[in-house]
Amino acid sequence: MAEESAPRTDVDTVTVLLVDDHPMFLDGLRGVFLPQDGFRVVGVATSAEEAVAVCRRTAPQVVVLDLGLPDGSGIDVTRRMLDDRPDVKVLVLSMSDDDENVLAAMRAGAHGYLVKGADREEILTAMRTVARGGAVFSPRVALRLRTFFDSLAAAPGRSAFPELTPRELEILGLLAAGLDYRQIARKLTITDKTVRNHVTNIFAKLQVNDRAQAIVRARNAGLGVDVPPPRAHG
- Residues 110-124: pLDDT tens digits? 988 998 888 999 999
Which pLDDT does position 102 carry in this prediction? 80
Higher pLDDT, 137 or 99: 137
- What percent of the chain lies above the pLDDT cut of 70? 81
> Over the stretch 183-205, which tens digit does the pLDDT of each residue have?
999 888 888 898 999 999 999 99
Q: 145 with 166: CB under 8 angstroms? A: no
Domain residue spans in the chain?
14-140, 157-220
Which pLDDT does position 226 carry in this prediction? 54
Which pLDDT does position 217 carry in this prediction? 87
pLDDT at 28 over 80: yes
Q: Which of 79, 67, 64 is nearest to 123 (CA)?
A: 64
Cα dihedral sign, 146-151-154-157: negative
Q: Burial letters for 179-216: b for 16+ Cβ neighbours within 10 Å, e otherwise? A: bebebbbebbeeeeeebeebbebbeebbebeebeebbe
Which pLDDT does position 46 carry in this prediction? 95
- What percent of the chain lies above the pLDDT cut of 90? 41
Which pLDDT does position 141 carry in this prediction? 62
pLDDT at 82 over 50: yes
pLDDT at 232 over 50: no
The CA-atom distances, in angstroms, between 202 and each of 151, 191, 225 are 21, 17, 19
The residue-averaged pLDDT of 91-112 equals 83
- 157-220 CATH pick, 3.30.70.890, 3.40.50.11540, 1.10.3720.10, 1.10.10.10: 1.10.10.10
Cα dihedral sign, 64-69-73-77: negative
Fold of 14-140: Rossmann fold (3.40.50)
